Each structure stands twice: as structure tokens, then as C-alpha cells.
Amino acid sequence: MKKQATLTALAAAALFSSSSAFAVCDGCVVSAVTAAATSITTGLGAGFGSLATLLNTINGNIGGTGSKTASAVIQAANTQREMGIEVQRQAEQDRIARETELPIDPCSTSGSNYANQAIRGAGATSSSYRRGGGSGSASVSSGVLNHALSDAAPPVEASRRASTAIHQQKYCSALEVRLGYPGCSSSTMPDADAQAESIFTGAGLAGKTPDMTFTKDQEEAARAFSRLSLDPQPPESISKAEAATESGKLYIAMQKAYQANMTTSEKAMNDEIASHMPFANSASLIEQIKQSDAAAQYLNATASNVAKSTGQMSLAELLDFEAGRRWRNPYWVIEQSAVSDPTKLQREQLMTTAFMAELAYENLQTNKFNSVVLGQILASLTRSNDRAAIESQLQRVRATNAR
């Protein structure tokens, strides 16, 4: 019994001791759990805050990307629209260019080759007019004029008789015929050897239309006018024996000084006459011009008789054609006015440019005329200043009786 009581007491003590231990452990656990929960809660709060910040950043980036994408789409659409407009504008310009294409311009295509040939040909022809030029000298049909232009200069009286014979042969006026001048008959080129028209617009009857390209007869008349207006009685040539004397040598020196000034005057006229003579390959140029309807119609309306009959033209006619085939050409105006596209400003600028070219050409014609007039003045001054001294020296040469 006593033993059982002892065991019971031990068991109770053990039980009491165990309950206190468990009570202490529960407090530790609760504290630990509480601390852990607090830490977890704090960590979760910080994590949620970071996550929210990240989500906001991602949302902002997504919004920016969407805005950029939208801007890019809009810009691409604008660029495509502008490209479409540019393509349409270029197509419209190409259409207008095709519909408003100007006549073939010889000077802007192969015409530069023709212009070069025309200029060089006129220069060669002008040079062939020189007195005593050798085999290259241009001859004329009139024998008396040919001798007067090519042979050694005869005495003054012989030169004057030659002038009269040249005039009576082809150039008597209607008045002279009515007066009954000997050797005179009616002429289709009256007074051509004394009319300035002979070198500018071609010899012929009064009231004729200008000829920009001359016939051979008109060339001959122009050369007769040049001879008569510049130096109809040039200082005569002396003989070989006279040239060997001291006086003869001085005479030749004075004669050459005289000729130096006189040839300056002659060149202006020779150049003008030569510019009216047909040049090589001008027939090919005319065929090229006829490829354009407006240009062909203007050529048919304005071409010289030589250009129409022989298919050749001169440098002067080429320049006249190029200057006038737009501004003076009604067919070109009709052709341009038929264009439906309203490119009025460009068209007006083009017409103004064409008109300015016309004015420039007219100014060129005036300058050419002035050059010839100045040449005549120089020739007149030369004759007045030098001939008396030359004649005196010639008398000294004659006094030597060297023949």
C-alpha cells in the first residue's frame, strides 16, 4: 500500500514537471511563429511593392511602345501617301512633257554640227572673195566683174570704165532705160550694184520679200555692190621693172598699208555676203526640221526661194529660222495652246524666253549692219587720207621711166 502511494506521488510529480515544460515550449514556438510571420509579412509587402513598381514600369513601357508604334504607322502612312502623290505628280509631268514636246531643235540635237558647218562654210566662202586668192577664189559669171575682182588693179580710168560696164551689163535701172543710156536694158536686179539691200536681203526688184539665202546671181550682185561701195578704183598695180626701183618699193609699201585698212572694211561685207550662201549638208538639216509639224509649217511659210527649190539654206537663214520658229510661228503657238494642262507659268516663261531670243537676234542684225557701215566709213577715211600721197608717189615712179 505504501509502495503504491509512493508510485502515485512520483507519477504526479512527473506529470506536473511535464506540464510546466510544455508550457514553456509553447511560448517559444508562438514567439518564433510570430516573428516569422512578421518577417514574412514584411517581405511579402516589400515584394508586392516591388512587383507593383515593376508592373507600373512595364505598363508604362507598353504604353510608350504602343505610342511609338502608332506614330511609326502614321509616319509610314504619310510617307506612302507622299510617295504616291510624288509618283502621280511625276507621271503628270511626264504626260505634260510628252504632250507639250517642242519641235525638234537642230541646235540642241545634231543641229550644233550643222551650225558648226554653216559657220565654217561661211568663213571659207568669205575668204574666197579676197582679191588674188588663187585657185580658191570665187568666180562670177560676169567676165568684166570677174576681172575687176580678181585681176591686178588697173589705172583709175580703166577701173571706172569697168564699173560702168558692170552696171550696164546687169544692173541698169528703169529710169536709166527710159533715159536711153547706151548699153542699158531692163533688169530684174536694178541698181543692185548700188543698193545696200544686195548684201542684206538679196538683190531684186523693188518690193520683193527678203531672201535669207542668195542665188548665185544675188551673190554676184552683192559682190558688185561691195566693190563699188568700198574701193571701186584701188591703187593700180605697177610693173615688175617699176617694183624693182627704190620709188617702186616705197609705192608698194604705201599700197600695202592702204590695203591693210581696206581689207578690214571688206571683211565685214564679205562675211555678210558669205553668210547668205548655202552651206554643205544644209539639205540634211532641212529634212530634220521637217520631222516636226509646227517647224515644217513655219519653214514652208518663211523659207527662201533657194531653200524651197534646192533644199539648201544659208547660215543667215538658219539663224533667222531658229530665232523665229517659236515666237513668230503661229503653228507653234497653236500647238502649245492646245495643251490642256494648266502649266501657264512655265509656258509664259518659255514664250518670254523665245521673245527675248527674237530681240537678241534683231540686235545682232543691227550690229551686223553697223559693222558694215563702220567699214564703209573706214574705207572712206582711208581713201581720203592716203590716196593723194599714193598718187604722188606713183608719179615719182612714172618719172623713172622704168618699164
Give per-residue pLDDT as tens, 247-284: 999 999 999 988 888 888 888 899 999 999 999 889 98
CA atoms within 13 A on the CB side of 191: 11
9 exposed, middle or buried (CB, 10 Å; 0-12, 13-18, 19+)? Answer: exposed
Tell me what the mean pLDDT of segment 155-176 comes to: 94
Q: Which of 107, 251, 273, 258 is nearest to 192 (CA)?
A: 273
Q: How confident is the model at residue 316 (pLDDT cuts 50, 70, 90)?
A: very high
How far is residue 60's CA from residue 64's CA, in Å, rounded to a whole number? Answer: 6
Do 258 and 305 meet the contact criterion of CB atoms below 8 Å apart? no
Is the distance from CB of 160 to CB of 233 less than 8 angstroms? yes
Q: For 376, list phi and psi in degrees, rounded to 5.
A: -65, -40
- Highest mean pLDDT of the ranges 35-39, 257-261, 316-320, 347-351: 316-320
Per-residue pLDDT of 214-236, as tens digits, reads: 999 999 999 999 999 998 999 99
What SS3 state is found at 66?
Answer: helix
Instruction: Give residue limits of the domains in the chain.
Output: 123-399
Do the Cβ atoms of 192 and 168 come closer than 8 Å? no
C-alpha 131/C-alpha 151 separation (Å) is: 7
pLDDT digits (tens, 9 = 90+) for 128-164: 998 865 555 678 888 999 999 988 999 999 999 999 9
- Predicted confidence (pLDDT) at residue 191 exceeds the cutoff of 70: yes
* Contacts for 169 with CB less than 8 Å, ≥ 6 apart: 142, 144, 145, 183
What the block records as the C-alpha cell of 246 is: 627704190
